[in-house]
Amino acid sequence: MGCKGCTKIDKPFWGEVCPVKSCCEGHGLEHCGQCREFPCGLLNQFAYDEQQGDEGKRIRRCNEWAKQEGTHMKFMGPLLAVKDVAVSRRFYEEVLGQKVGMDFGENVSFVSGFSIQLKPHYANMIHLDDEKVVLGSNSTELYFEEDDIEGIAARLTADPSVELLHGMEEAPWMQRSIRLYDPDRYIIEIGESMEAVLRRCAKEGMSAEEIAQRTGYPLLYVQQITKG
């Protein structure tokens, strides 16, 4: 298989637009093997498609590239040391709608990929005194995305238990976001998903070219997301 990667060609030979190529370029990747979600449902769908598929050869090739580049070590997610696991778990479940994957008592992992751990237990694991583990640094942030950013912003703003860092703001690349503190004062950012941003901009009358220029996303990816 002599494929050098779909991002290496200007136009797919099988059609005008390839969703896999557009997705890869939209995320700033050279190939799918560099993506945390590899192999995703979209890639599997194309790899095993009856007409355009190759029985998984492209997936195996991307995996080979990732190993050659040293990107085969998979990042599993961040861990936050917390004062009270029950309080933090309740916040992430009830306020942010996160689902628990595993609960080990002093450590709770969430399906979305992050974990919380009781501070003294964490300090013991890294061989430090408890007081040397400092919580609530403003340099630490967990980032989430939500299609309905207006709805989540309205709900969080109306919740007296939530301490907002700032209300909903729009960045120069058109994405809207809101920031708040969790119970240990770690920063939580909730951003409008970029697909929702592209669709909103199109609905507001912006052309695909204008959207691509403002958001920095490739024109083909913008056209793929906003068509229809």
* Residues whose CB is less than 8 angstroms from the CB of residue 207 and which lie 6 or more positions away in sequence, other chains included: none
Would you say the C-alpha torsion 123, 127, 130, 135 has a positive or negative sign? negative
Per-residue confidence (pLDDT) for residue 9, from 0 to 100:
66
Per-residue confidence (pLDDT) for residue 164, from 0 to 100:
97
CATH of 79-192, one of 3.10.180.10, 3.30.465.10, 3.20.20.370, 3.40.50.300: 3.10.180.10
Q: Give the residue extent of every domain in the chain.
A: 6-74, 79-192
**What is the tens place of the pLDDT at every residue in 134-167?**
998 899 999 999 999 999 999 999 999 999 999 9
Per-residue confidence (pLDDT) for residue 155, from 0 to 100:
96
Measured in whole angstroms, the distance separating CA 192 from the mean position of its chain's CA atoms is 11
Per-residue confidence (pLDDT) for residue 5, from 0 to 100:
64
Q: DSSP 3-state assignment of 44?
A: helix
pTM of the model: 0.73
Per-residue confidence (pLDDT) for residue 1, from 0 to 100:
45
Structure tokens at 11: 């136009």
Tokens 């809101």, located at residue: 178
Per-residue confidence (pLDDT) for residue 193, from 0 to 100:
92
Q: How far is the C-alpha of 120 from the C-alpha of 133, rounded, in Å?
A: 9
DSSP state, residue 106: S
CA distances from 223 to 42, 114, 194 (A): 17, 33, 13
Peptide bond preceding 39: is omega within 30 degrees of 0, i.e. cis? yes
**What is the tens place of the pLDDT at every residue in 57-74?**
888 888 888 877 775 566
Residues in the chain with pLDDT < 50?
Answer: 1
Measured in whole angstroms, the distance separating CA 224 from the mean position of its chain's CA atoms is 20
Structure tokens at 52: 């355009």
CA distances from 108 to 81, 83, 102, 163, 169 (A): 11, 13, 6, 23, 31
